[in-house]
Amino acid sequence: MAHFSSDYPDGRTRCNWPQGDALYTHYHDTEWGVPLVGDDAMFERVALEGFQAGLSWITILRRRDGFRRAFANFEMAEVAKLSEADAEELMLDAGIIRNRAKINATIKNAKLAMDLEGGLSNFVWQFAPDRGSHTTSIDGFEWRATSPESVAMSKALRKAGFGFVGPTTMYALMQATGMYNDHSPECFRRQELL
Protein backbone atom coordinates (compact mmCIF):
# COMPACT_ATOMS: atom_id res chain seq x y z
CA MET A 1 0.00 0.00 0.00
CA ALA A 2 1.32 3.45 -0.88
CA HIS A 3 2.04 5.79 2.05
CA PHE A 4 1.39 8.84 -0.10
CA SER A 5 -1.12 10.30 -2.52
CA SER A 6 -0.78 12.84 -5.30
CA ASP A 7 -4.52 13.07 -5.94
CA TYR A 8 -4.93 16.50 -4.36
CA PRO A 9 -6.34 19.50 -6.27
CA ASP A 10 -3.18 21.55 -5.65
CA GLY A 11 -1.04 18.78 -7.18
CA ARG A 12 1.10 18.34 -4.06
CA THR A 13 2.10 14.88 -2.91
CA ARG A 14 1.08 14.20 0.68
CA CYS A 15 0.78 11.36 3.15
CA ASN A 16 -2.27 9.33 2.21
CA TRP A 17 -4.07 9.54 5.58
CA PRO A 18 -5.86 12.91 5.08
CA GLN A 19 -7.77 11.19 2.24
CA GLY A 20 -8.70 14.50 0.66
CA ASP A 21 -10.73 15.76 3.66
CA ALA A 22 -10.23 19.55 3.82
CA LEU A 23 -9.96 19.75 7.64
CA TYR A 24 -7.63 16.76 7.80
CA THR A 25 -5.49 18.09 4.95
CA HIS A 26 -5.15 21.49 6.65
CA TYR A 27 -4.10 19.76 9.89
CA HIS A 28 -1.58 17.65 7.95
CA ASP A 29 -0.16 20.67 6.12
CA THR A 30 0.07 23.11 9.03
CA GLU A 31 0.24 21.25 12.33
CA TRP A 32 1.06 17.53 12.24
CA GLY A 33 4.76 16.99 12.84
CA VAL A 34 5.53 20.61 13.71
CA PRO A 35 7.61 20.82 16.92
CA LEU A 36 5.33 21.95 19.74
CA VAL A 37 6.40 23.40 23.08
CA GLY A 38 4.50 24.97 25.95
CA ASP A 39 2.77 23.29 28.86
CA ASP A 40 -0.85 24.15 28.02
CA ALA A 41 -0.33 23.41 24.32
CA MET A 42 1.23 20.05 25.16
CA PHE A 43 -1.52 19.32 27.68
CA GLU A 44 -4.11 19.83 24.95
CA ARG A 45 -2.33 17.30 22.76
CA VAL A 46 -1.95 14.76 25.57
CA ALA A 47 -5.65 15.15 26.41
CA LEU A 48 -6.85 14.91 22.81
CA GLU A 49 -4.65 11.90 22.09
CA GLY A 50 -6.15 10.27 25.17
CA PHE A 51 -9.67 10.98 23.93
CA GLN A 52 -8.66 9.60 20.52
CA ALA A 53 -7.78 6.17 21.97
CA GLY A 54 -9.99 3.68 20.13
CA LEU A 55 -11.28 6.31 17.70
CA SER A 56 -10.01 7.98 14.53
CA TRP A 57 -8.13 11.28 14.79
CA ILE A 58 -10.57 12.99 12.40
CA THR A 59 -13.32 12.30 14.96
CA ILE A 60 -11.34 14.29 17.54
CA LEU A 61 -10.31 16.97 15.07
CA ARG A 62 -13.94 17.67 14.15
CA ARG A 63 -14.76 18.16 17.85
CA ARG A 64 -11.63 20.11 18.76
CA ASP A 65 -13.44 23.42 19.18
CA GLY A 66 -15.93 21.68 21.47
CA PHE A 67 -13.11 20.20 23.52
CA ARG A 68 -11.43 23.61 23.80
CA ARG A 69 -14.64 25.19 24.98
CA ALA A 70 -15.39 22.38 27.44
CA PHE A 71 -11.88 22.25 28.87
CA ALA A 72 -11.09 25.98 29.22
CA ASN A 73 -8.83 26.01 26.15
CA PHE A 74 -6.79 23.32 27.91
CA GLU A 75 -5.35 25.75 30.43
CA MET A 76 -4.06 23.21 32.94
CA ALA A 77 -4.74 25.41 35.97
CA GLU A 78 -8.39 25.79 34.95
CA VAL A 79 -8.91 22.12 34.06
CA ALA A 80 -7.36 21.09 37.38
CA LYS A 81 -10.12 23.04 39.18
CA LEU A 82 -12.93 21.04 37.57
CA SER A 83 -15.05 19.17 40.09
CA GLU A 84 -17.02 15.92 39.95
CA ALA A 85 -20.11 18.04 39.23
CA ASP A 86 -18.28 19.65 36.31
CA ALA A 87 -17.33 16.20 35.03
CA GLU A 88 -21.00 15.17 35.21
CA GLU A 89 -21.93 18.26 33.20
CA LEU A 90 -19.28 17.39 30.59
CA MET A 91 -20.98 14.00 30.18
CA LEU A 92 -23.93 15.91 28.72
CA ASP A 93 -21.82 17.95 26.27
CA ALA A 94 -22.46 16.73 22.72
CA GLY A 95 -19.49 18.80 21.50
CA ILE A 96 -16.97 16.34 22.96
CA ILE A 97 -16.50 12.59 23.31
CA ARG A 98 -18.62 11.77 26.34
CA ASN A 99 -16.48 9.11 27.97
CA ARG A 100 -16.44 9.33 31.76
CA ALA A 101 -13.06 7.63 32.19
CA LYS A 102 -11.41 9.95 29.63
CA ILE A 103 -13.01 13.07 31.13
CA ASN A 104 -11.89 12.09 34.64
CA ALA A 105 -8.39 11.25 33.37
CA THR A 106 -8.11 14.65 31.66
CA ILE A 107 -8.94 16.45 34.90
CA LYS A 108 -6.58 14.24 36.94
CA ASN A 109 -3.83 14.61 34.31
CA ALA A 110 -4.10 18.41 34.52
CA LYS A 111 -3.51 18.27 38.28
CA LEU A 112 -0.57 15.91 37.85
CA ALA A 113 0.93 17.93 34.98
CA MET A 114 1.04 21.04 37.13
CA ASP A 115 3.23 19.19 39.63
CA LEU A 116 5.82 17.97 37.11
CA GLU A 117 9.20 19.52 37.79
CA GLY A 118 10.13 21.63 34.77
CA GLY A 119 6.62 21.39 33.31
CA LEU A 120 4.79 18.96 31.05
CA SER A 121 6.38 20.13 27.81
CA ASN A 122 9.92 19.58 29.08
CA PHE A 123 8.89 16.28 30.64
CA VAL A 124 7.62 14.75 27.40
CA TRP A 125 10.34 16.28 25.21
CA GLN A 126 13.02 14.51 27.25
CA PHE A 127 11.90 11.31 25.47
CA ALA A 128 12.26 12.73 21.96
CA PRO A 129 14.86 10.95 19.84
CA ASP A 130 17.58 12.91 18.08
CA ARG A 131 16.13 14.83 15.11
CA GLY A 132 16.37 12.76 11.98
CA SER A 133 16.71 9.44 13.79
CA HIS A 134 13.59 8.12 12.08
CA THR A 135 14.65 9.04 8.58
CA THR A 136 14.22 6.04 6.32
CA SER A 137 14.50 5.40 2.64
CA ILE A 138 11.37 5.32 0.54
CA ASP A 139 11.71 1.55 0.21
CA GLY A 140 12.07 1.04 3.96
CA PHE A 141 9.44 3.50 5.16
CA GLU A 142 6.66 2.26 7.39
CA TRP A 143 4.49 3.83 10.02
CA ARG A 144 4.91 2.25 13.41
CA ALA A 145 2.51 2.02 16.32
CA THR A 146 5.10 2.47 19.07
CA SER A 147 8.78 3.15 19.60
CA PRO A 148 11.19 2.54 22.47
CA GLU A 149 10.85 6.24 23.29
CA SER A 150 7.04 6.16 23.37
CA VAL A 151 7.16 3.08 25.62
CA ALA A 152 9.54 4.91 27.98
CA MET A 153 7.38 8.06 27.97
CA SER A 154 4.25 6.02 28.65
CA LYS A 155 5.89 4.24 31.58
CA ALA A 156 7.11 7.52 33.08
CA LEU A 157 3.71 9.21 32.75
CA ARG A 158 1.91 6.19 34.16
CA LYS A 159 4.34 6.09 37.08
CA ALA A 160 3.43 9.74 37.73
CA GLY A 161 -0.25 8.71 37.78
CA PHE A 162 -1.40 9.83 34.33
CA GLY A 163 -4.18 7.96 32.52
CA PHE A 164 -4.78 7.24 28.83
CA VAL A 165 -1.08 7.57 28.01
CA GLY A 166 -0.32 4.13 26.57
CA PRO A 167 2.69 3.58 24.27
CA THR A 168 0.62 3.79 21.07
CA THR A 169 -1.12 6.96 22.24
CA MET A 170 2.23 8.49 23.19
CA TYR A 171 3.72 7.53 19.82
CA ALA A 172 0.86 9.38 18.12
CA LEU A 173 1.63 12.36 20.39
CA MET A 174 5.30 12.21 19.40
CA GLN A 175 4.39 12.18 15.70
CA ALA A 176 1.90 15.03 16.04
CA THR A 177 4.19 17.28 18.09
CA GLY A 178 7.27 16.93 15.91
CA MET A 179 9.33 14.52 17.98
CA TYR A 180 9.29 12.25 14.95
CA ASN A 181 9.08 13.33 11.33
CA ASP A 182 6.78 10.57 10.15
CA HIS A 183 5.54 12.24 6.99
CA SER A 184 6.01 9.76 4.16
CA PRO A 185 9.27 10.24 2.23
CA GLU A 186 7.33 11.49 -0.82
CA CYS A 187 5.27 14.03 1.16
CA PHE A 188 6.17 17.68 0.60
CA ARG A 189 5.98 18.34 4.35
CA ARG A 190 8.71 15.83 5.21
CA GLN A 191 11.44 17.96 3.64
CA GLU A 192 9.99 21.18 5.05
CA LEU A 193 10.22 19.78 8.58
CA LEU A 194 13.75 18.36 8.40
Q: Is 117 a catalytic residue?
A: no
Q: Is 186 a catalytic residue?
A: no
**Catalytic residue from among 24, 32, 49, 149:** 49
Q: Is 57 a catalytic residue?
A: yes
Look at residues 108, 131, 129 and name the one whose alpha carbon lies nearest to residue 46: 108
101-115 per-residue burial string, b: 16 or more CB within 10 A, e: under 16:
ebbbbbbbbbebbee
Coil/strand/helix, residue 69: helix
**What is the C-alpha to C-alpha distance for residues 150 and 68, in angstroms, rounded to an integer?**
25
**Catalytic residue from among 8, 31, 57, 75:** 57
**Catalytic residue from among 8, 27, 31, 75:** 27
**What is the C-alpha to C-alpha distance for residues 53 and 171, in angstroms, rounded to an integer?**
12
> What is the set of active-site residues?
27, 49, 57
